[in-house]
Structure 1
Amino acid sequence: MTTTATAPSPYRVTPRRVLRSEWHKLRSLRSTWITLLSAAALVLGIGLIMGATYTSDGGDSDIDTVVLVLYGTQLGQMCLAVLGILVTAGEYSSGMIRSSLTVVPRRLPVLWAKAAVFTTVAYSSMLATGLTTFLAAQLLLNGTDKATGLTEPGVLGAIAGNAAGITLLSLIALGLGATLRSVPGSIGAYIGCVLILPEVLGMLPYDAVDSALKYFPTQAAGALGSGSPLPGAASTGAALLALCLWAGASLAAGAVLLRRRDA
């Protein structure tokens, strides 16, 4: 009596293959490159404008140098948030999600792979953009009180923190896309809940609200992108932890609904 060993299937689903599949999907979309280039162009363009128009006796002299030259982050971040939403909700709009979940019936590896690939691409892109913008703006700031270098204390950390803040905010958007499954609905929810709601709450005359607002996503991201502590802002460690929790909660909501609902 003989036994025949069954060779492992060459098409077995593995985490590495799911990651590679999501990477191929992300890089093959024209919208990926349009949004990444738009975000980089906004950050770089506004950084150059700020550098070219800055004067030492102007009203911006009290602003941190990294914050000043990376002011375009506020607009560039919206481009990355839209891309995060397209990564998840966009597949529901096109119907491609059915194919993805058929190939990976456990479902959750698809979401984790999307988040991992997007995080890597978004952070790398924004870190490179931040470094390029800072160095280019410094050529224009030469001779002013904002002239500084990458080796100055807090500068590299602020640029890296700025990239991390944008990435984590965009991960919140990605989780919203997985939760709501609608591109317009997710964009509206992101603008309303992440961008507008903190501004509305900030009008309330309560100290408890002011204390809590420091840990809301956009406020926490702002604290990460400054080379010097911002007045009334959370510490760098607390801001990073808060942003990670917000992003984790958004992804967790998307994961729960991904398991419970049909595609």
Structure 2
Amino acid sequence: MTRRALHAEWTKLRTSPGTLGLLLMIVAATAGLSAIVAAACSGSTCGPDVALTGVQLGHAVVAILAVLVIGNEYQTGMIAVSLAAVPRRLPVLLGKAVVVAGVVALAGAVAVAGAIGSGELLLPAYHATLRPAAGSVLYLVLIALFSLGLATIVRSPAAAIGTVLGLLYAVPIIVSVVTDQTWHDRFEKYAPVSAGLAVQSTAADPLIGPWKGLGVLALWTLAALLVAAITLRRRDA
């Protein structure tokens, strides 16, 4: 990756009119939903990970932001300009990945801090721990990179957003109605969202270890980016 490609992607992202709004929405959605759930649980026996519930709303905004980073260029035809400006294609994708990961990590850290703050304020017994908090930020970054890879593959921002949101919300619902316990557990362990969110778990005997679950999501993300890199190199803009 060249500095020129990285600078170009950063310039495009920060000058896009919707970027700031989406970053603020990540923080507001994550912290806001966490505060609502924590308030509803105040005085009850909710688990200590309830303060991070907002991540399950914030990850949708993260996915949309990441999809639009490249999806808008495909929609407007500007991707041809981006690829013409850089002799090799992979630095374009890598530059987008680095910039997206950076801004989502920053917004995610602020969002998770806000969610934890609401938990400590509204839940007297709540005590934040490092692993669920840091893991939630990493989870959001991986969701962003996974979404970027998927958007690069399908090229249409609408199709990519629909697919990602389906994976984030429809797949967990489908898994929840699987009656066979063996298959239900397998889906829980290896579906990207349920596996990734295991990093928040404070259960004594989780279905999959917190970091193993995040590792499963990382493998999904790596696969999406590898396929994205191959398709970007082989097809016309």
TM-score of the pair, normalised by structure 2: 0.91
Contact 1:47 1:68 in 2 (8 A): yes
Q: 2:66 aligns with which of 56, 70, 84?
A: 84
Q: 1:225 aligns with which of 200, 204, 215?
A: 200
Aligned position for 1:174: 148
Aligned position for 1:49: 36
State whether structure 2 residue 191 is matched by structure 1 residue 216.
yes
Pair 127,54 (structure 1): closer, same or farther in 2 beyond 3 Å: same
Contact 2:192 2:217 in 1 (8 A): yes
State whether structure 2 residue 18 is matched by structure 1 residue 31.
yes
Pair 204,132 (structure 1): closer, same or farther in 2 beyond 3 Å: closer
Contact 2:142 2:217 in 1 (8 A): yes
Runs (5+) with no aligned partner, structure 2: none
Runs (5+) with no aligned partner, structure 1: 1-13
The code of the aligned residue for 1:261 comes to R
In structure 2, C-alpha distance between the alignment counterparts of 1:231 and 1:29, rounded to whole Å: 45
The code of the aligned residue for 2:195 comes to A
Aligned position for 1:204: 178
Aligned position for 1:75: 57
Aligned position for 1:6: none
The code of the aligned residue for 1:195 comes to Y
- 1:217-256 to 2 correspondences below 5 Å: 217-226=192-201, 228-229=202-203, 232-256=206-230
RMSD over equivalenced CA pairs, Å: 1.9
In structure 2, C-alpha distance between the alignment counterparts of 1:28 and 1:102, rounded to whole Å: 20
Q: How far off is 1:254 after superposition?
A: 1.1
In structure 1, C-alpha distance between the alignment counterparts of 2:111 and 2:167, rounded to whole Å: 27
The code of the aligned residue for 1:116 comes to V
Pair 84,92 (structure 1): closer, same or farther in 2 beyond 3 Å: same
Pair 102,167 (structure 1): closer, same or farther in 2 beyond 3 Å: same
- 1:59-138 to 2 correspondences below 5 Å: 61-63=45-47, 65=48, 67-138=49-120
- Deviation per CA, 1:125-173, whole angstroms, max 9, x where unpaired? 11122113312431233xx333x2x4xxxx1211110111122122111
Pair 134,204 (structure 1): closer, same or farther in 2 beyond 3 Å: closer
Tell me the matched-pair count: 236
| 3-state secondary structure, aligned to 2:183 | helix
Aligned position for 1:40: 27
- Deviation per CA, 1:80-135, whole angstroms, max 9, x where unpaired? 10011001111111221111100113101100110111011101211122113312
Pair 231,218 (structure 1): closer, same or farther in 2 beyond 3 Å: farther
Pair 230,101 (structure 1): closer, same or farther in 2 beyond 3 Å: farther
Q: How far off is 1:198 after superposition?
A: 4.2
Q: How far off is 1:253 after superposition?
A: 1.4
Pair 72,89 (structure 1): closer, same or farther in 2 beyond 3 Å: same
| 3-state secondary structure, aligned to 1:125 | helix
Aligned position for 1:15: 2
Q: How far off is 1:230 after superposition?
A: 6.7
Contact 2:135 2:199 in 1 (8 A): yes
The code of the aligned residue for 1:68 comes to V
In structure 1, C-alpha distance between the alignment counterparts of 2:214 and 2:33, rounded to whole Å: 25
Q: How far off is 1:209 after superposition?
A: 2.0
More helix by share: 2
State whether structure 2 residue 120 is matched by structure 1 residue 145.
no
Pair 230,193 (structure 1): closer, same or farther in 2 beyond 3 Å: farther
- Which one is further off, 102-111 or 130-139? 130-139
Aligned position for 1:189: 163
In structure 2, C-alpha distance between the alignment counterparts of 1:139 and 1:62, rounded to whole Å: 15
Q: Determine which structure has more spread, i.e. the larger CA radius of gyration.
A: 1
TM-score of the pair, normalised by structure 1: 0.83
**What is the percentage of aligned positions where both structures have the same residue?**
33
